[in-house]
Structure 1
Amino acid sequence: MNEAGTLGVRAGQSGVETVTLDDGAAMAVRVSGSGDPLLLVHGWAAHGGFFEGLADALSDSFSIIVPDLRGHGATGRGEGPLTMARLADDLHALLRVLDLRNAVAVGWSMGAMVLWSMIGRHGADRLAGLVTIDMSPRILNDADWTLGMQTGLDRAASAQIETAMRTGWPAYAAAFAPRMFARPENGQLPDILPWAVDQMAGNDADAMAELWGAMADTDCRDTLAGIRIPALVTYGALSQAYSPETSRHLAAAMPDARLKGFARSGHAPHLEEPDAFARAITDFAREVQTAPAQPEFTRGVRHD
């Protein structure tokens, strides 16, 4: 990673900044609000717009920074392979370019894995706290690890999934998106589902398959014990992705972590129980952002 002075940020329209990363890739970043910073990191095959409601709810109290990760949304894939390490380095660069300090980072699904990877590679000196949303430190299962995906996903099944993504991505996205939400008892699907399917189907098939493989190759279990900032582990009690036991394991594995479940949610409690989730984030951030006051984040300004 080059020094921050070789990177830059350019103001855009409608609160969108363009941050130039070390390989020249342009990262789209939505910014809003004022106050201590919240960094919201989306999951696989999503983009920052999946946090729009949460950002609106919290922007009166916090500066909200929402990137589109490499290969998602308005951010291109750039050069080289797509790996969790690459995405982690991008987030670290973003923190430096915007000079974010005393930030609470919120990672949904793959976004949590990217944040764990970032902390493992670069430390957590710019973070006051970490929030994870329904994720496992290792998505694959084997004889010694059964807290990956609830489907029992193993290496062979993951390889088959990658093939299905490359050969029929729109159909795969349409089948995957409903599994982000709690299975409806009355058969009524969430109102947001058609929008989610449309947004996910617009991704590049090869990029999504490559990133899925990168997740499958990543194991963050050894990183957890070294994460010594306060953490809030959140999950949906009705998740079709991971069991509540996975989140209980996470909360026990990190030295300063607590657990928060959402009884009516699946894999996306920030979308399924938005008011309760926003209150939980607000309470946690106000508690942990107690360091001496830092200069307020200013949109469109680079601090070298």
Structure 2
Amino acid sequence: MTTVGFLLLPGVHLLDLAGPAQVFSTAADLGLGYAVRYSAAREEVVTAQGLALRVSTDALAPSPDGLVLVPGWRAGGRVPYRVLAEGQAAALAAHRAAGGTVASVCSGAFALGEAGLLDGRRCTTHHGLQDLLARRFPRARVVPDVLYVPDGGVVTSAGIASGIDLALHLVTVRHGPAAAAAVAREMVVYARRNGDEPQAGVMLRHRGHLVDAVHRVQDAIDARFRETLPLAELAARARVSERTLTRLFTAATGLTPLRYQQGLRLEHAEHLIGAGETAEAAARAVGFRDARMLRRLRARPA
């Protein structure tokens, strides 16, 4: 039985906690042998979303097979130099020294840094806190714009929902990709994302503009990215000429409509490959005739 202990700090984000907790709880339901525990400095922890949680104040015991995970809390770009209560930093360090795994979601990385666990290690956090983490812990090697980073028994992840990806990664390490895929299916999660994927996917990275016509075309491509979408059809949806659509789309997103669609296909194919599909099967599933175009896109500089 593997114990997964969540160390909760005041103002913890619900999804930072609930996402990984659901992964390990579901894994336990599937017979993978997990026991989930919760600990805090006080019996009541009020979350960032206002929900009060009642938890144990017993310290999480060091274990060579266990995992201690620190979810993030509402930081707003301002993280105190001391976020841990008395004894918590030593407990985290002792758990790692005993051979156990220590992990964090979002601003939880600052707790690991306070415990000295980021020194000399690669790590990450929410994109809005990466620069602060690097300044606060100069011996840490902060990796920007990735979902999660494992390094020597210490695993850090980006913000909020990336904790699910981190937890599925840890299940994969212990039990293999098939077990993680079973957990993901039970949770109705599309697929386990790879750690080096950017924190914002293709849809989010290219949606920061204010051009309604381009948003309408993006909606169509997002919904039907596997299909062949003639430029004339997309221009009709935007109610502009093909030439005008290409100009507007490129100015708003930095990509042509075709490159945007290819980016979506590539992103979805990478998800499938990460879940165990072959490149050929993934390519066909996202709309390519075969894997040749997929290989070219994977090799193309970002």
TM range (shorter): 0.3 to 0.5
TM-score (norm 1): 0.34
Rg (Cα) greater in structure: 2
Higher relative contact order (CA 8 A, sep 6+): 1
